[in-house]
Amino acid sequence: MAPEMNGRPKSTSVNIPAQAVKNLTVEEMYNKEKYDLSTMKEGDVFKMLDTKKDGLNDDQIKERLEKFGHNRLDEKTQNPIIQFLLFMWNPLSWVMEAAAIVAIAVSNGGGRAPDWEDFVGIILLLLANSIIGFIEQRNAGSAVKSLMKSLAPEAKVKRNGQWKVIDAAELVPGDIIGIKLGDVIPADGRLIVEQGDISIDQAALTGESLPVDKKHGDEIFSGSICKQGEGEAVVIGTGVNTFFGRAAKLVGNANDEIGHLQTILAKIGNFCIAAIGIFIIAEIFVMYAGFHYSYRRGINNILVLLIGGIPIAMPTVLSVTLAIGARQLSEHKAIVTHVTAIEELAAVTILCSDKTGTLTLNKLVVDKDTIKKYADIESGEIIRYAAIASRLEHPDAIDACIISTYGDKDKVRDGIQELDFKPFNPTIKRTEITYKETKDGSVHRISKGMSHTILDLCTRDKTDQQIKQLNADVDEFAGRGLRALAVAIEDVPSGEKDGKGNGFKLIGLLPIYDPPREDTKETIQRALELGKYLFYILVPIFIT
């Protein structure tokens, strides 16, 4: 990671090999120790990807689709016949299959036909178990594919100097894409053009409720949402080579492990095989060596031991039970990709959940009852001052929260004329407005933002006691999980937009929090109650 400046990665220069996008392998291009496209200087990014601001041409697009593949996460596919047969490949099934072979191939002689009844019964149980598991898993897989297909976004891209809308799966590294308010970012990229302040919601990737401000040269991630502004970006990563793709690949690799239920069934099967093997050997010696049984009579007894010595119906009962559970979950819009995942979830001892949007509303609110005052100004006026210092058009999450708390958006700036407005950015960590009162022509300035940034800005009526009190109040809010937003005001005696003020005065500290959902308490209570049981109904309560 490059060293940071003002909270942002510092651009780095690297030696770019000739025709890097053609001569380097995909693995070499995305080796961050050598070529970190997220922190390179913009010129180096364009050189590395052999692109320009007019976009790629048709030949380049064709070559890169062949090299990098489509901009999507490809799922592993398995031959359906092999997938079906694998449901018969486990220790319990081996014993049942051995019993079937004994019934049809070994049970001959003594003037009687093979034991067709047992053979057919065993085969039907094996087929029932495999068919149920196969159908449920295929249905779940089809549901997932349908869902992913419906979520595939389109992308606005510049190619051959012309803007066009294409399927996001057709994007390649080096494409120039356009983003605007409401767009889902289709691939990882670097901003090269800004039109207004750009704000990106990365909650799907980080869980952070507040959108992140992006500037020229910043990286934007696939799957995030543009909440404010418009711009252009050069695509630096697609498919599995995106931030989201790398995370999904790690999760996908974890799914290759053997599940808890399969492990238990394997242990039961191995125990049955060992126990039955020992008893069959003993039975052979006793029947044929000790009592001199006839061949067919002894084989019939061995078959009884094989069939009766294992829980022959257990796999079928489990498959039917899990299939019913998967069907019930589907009614709650939960997709089960593997039926055994139901048992896996039912067996958990600790259930971890993210907070934002799951346990909370993902909507910031001001706690009016605990507003801290540092001047002879009422809480309602403090909120009004904070609302005046907010952007009314395309507000970010905090500005929208303040305006909503005040009430009528159209009345926020009644009787005042905006002279200058400085939006929030990570450098100054505050907003600031200079405005004129229409009734008397007086000019005032308001600033709101990070508590200690505002405190450092204040010079009027600031005392050691006030500093100590602010620190204590911020710690109190933090202990309760609240964000602290400070508000300060000053007058501008000269009446000029850029005139010097009489010094900012701290007037209040607003506690902001993300309130819990109405059903959060009930959800947690139901989860605790369902935890007393050993099986399947835990997922639906977490589907929103």
Which residues are annotated as catalytic? 354
Give the residue among 508, 468, 469, 473 at the shortest CA–CA distance from 489. 508
Tokens of 464: 């050691």
Which backbone phi and psi does 236 adopt, to 5 degrees? -115, -10
Residue with tokens 């999450």: 397
Alpha-carbon span 536 to 332, nearest angstrom: 13
Which residue, 204, 212, 325, 310, is CA-closest to 265? 310
Please, which residues bridge with residue 437 across strands? Answer: 416
d(CA 54, CA 36): 23
DSSP state of 372: E
Q: Please report which helix (H) or strand (E) contains residue 345, including its range.
A: helix 340-346
CA dist., res. 272 & res. 299, Å (int): 19
Helices within 38-171 (DSSP H only): 42-49, 58-68, 80-86, 91-101, 116-151
Distances (CA, A) of 497 to 280, 491, 506: 99, 11, 21
For residues 78, 80, 84 and 89, what is the CA-based torsion angle, rounded to 10 degrees?
-30
DSSP H helices in 167-313: 203-206, 243-254, 260-284, 295-308
DSSP state of 169: G
H or E element, residue 451: helix 451-457
CA distance 428 to 32: 31
Name, in order, each residue with C-beta under 8 angstroms of 507's C-beta and a sequence gap of 6 or more: 373, 374, 375, 377, 382, 385, 487, 488, 489
C-alpha closest to that of 109 among 302, 304, 297? 297
Specify the residue for token string 């996460």: 73
Q: Which of 420, 437, 431 is nearest to 499 (CA)?
A: 420
List CB contacts of 33: < 8 A, sequence separation 6 or more: none
- Give the SS3 label for residue 543: coil
Phi, psi of 414, rounded to the nearest 5 degrees: -65, 135
Cα Rg of the chain (Å, integer): 34
